[in-house]
Amino acid sequence: MSTILEINNVTKKFGGLIANNDISFKVNKQEILSVIGPNGAGKSTLFKMISSFMKTTSGEVLFEGKRISNLAPHIVARMGVVRTFQETTIFKTMTVRDNIIISHHLRSNSNLFGFFIGSSTARNDEREFARSADELLEFLSITDIGNELASTLPQGHLRTLGIAIGLATNPKILLLDEPFAGMNHDETMHMVDLVSNVRDRNVTVLLVEHDMSAVMKISDRIVVLNFGELIAEGTPKEIQENKIVIEAYLGSEDDSIGL
């Protein structure tokens, strides 16, 4: 398996606070890799640095061998690294279908002026986007809500739409920010299937998540962060049996107070 994303010695400091300290790991092509850790472990910070929404203090992120850290988010997105958002971040006053169509922007062959005058390339683009949007709706089985206004959707559908927006950009690697947060068991299981399907579309998935059962079920490999440090890396089985991880999550036995 070849490496698609490399995180090399990434450190992030906010003043005196070290959010990420010297973190290095690799993501292989077409795998589902989860980054987990207790609250405040620095997962979201790492996530933002990979998608260039935040600058690194030191270290670098390489995507297919090219540095992508400290660039603008849209440039990183153009290279094929696309993130979804933790909050339900969508274009609220557009319909679901329009949300997906607009997200095809990266795939356009025409320039903005072409779209203004309605050149044939631009018209072809629009036709292609509409077709692809319908295909995505079908793929995520949300065709029936295609014409609904995005702001009226329930939580679960919003999350699906977020993934649809991400997929519409035709990413090579999709970064999912807590895709299972606030979901009940059934919804989570549905989402797990969905994320596995995403991987089958030749997309590498990197996700940050709290929900242990979902993470264990879905991930090929897991990276564990605690207090900004990488404390473990391995398959779900290895992580489950890892002492340091268990300590980080449950606390250690403390002889001094007799526990």
Partner 1 sequence: MIEISGRWDYYYTLTSVALLSIASSGVWLTFYIGRINIGQGAYALAGGYVVAILVTKYDVSFWLSVPIAGLFCSFVSMLIGASILRLRGVYFAMITLVLTEVAKLTAMSLPITNGAKGISSIALPGELSIFGIIIIPDFSTLANVKLAFYYVAVILMIFVFAGMYRLVNSRIGHLCRSLQQNEELASSIGVNITILRIIAYSISSFLGGIGGAIFVSISQSVYPTTFQVADSINFMLNVFVGGMGYVFGPMIGTLFIYFGWDLLFTTGKYQLLIYSSIIIALILVLPNGLLSLRIFNKSNKREIK
| Tokens describing residue 177 | 């920010």
Amino acid at 102: I
DSSP secondary structure string, 27-79?
EETT-EEEEE-STTSSHHHHHHHHTTSS--SEEEEEETTEE-TTS-HHHHHHH
Q: How far is the CB of 53 from partner 1 (least distance, A)?
A: 7
| Tokens describing residue 128 | 């292609």
Q: How far is the CB of 122 from partner 1 (least distance, A)?
A: 7
Q: How far is the CB of 90 from partner 1 (least distance, A)?
A: 7
Looking at beta carbons only, is 27 or 165 nearer to partner 1?
A: 165
Looking at beta carbons only, is 94 or 231 nearer to partner 1?
A: 94
Looking at beta carbons only, is 92 or 201 nearer to partner 1?
A: 92
Binding site for partner 1 (CB under 8 A): 51, 53, 72-74, 77-78, 82-85, 89-94, 98, 101-103, 105-106, 108, 112, 115-118, 122, 125-126, 165-166, 168-169
Q: How far is the CB of 102 from partner 1 (least distance, A)?
A: 5
Long-range contact pairs involving 189-194 (C-beta distance under 8 Å, separation at least 24): 189/214, 190/156, 191/156, 191/159, 191/160, 192/217, 192/218, 194/140, 194/160, 194/163
Looking at beta carbons only, is 57 or 169 nearer to partner 1?
A: 169
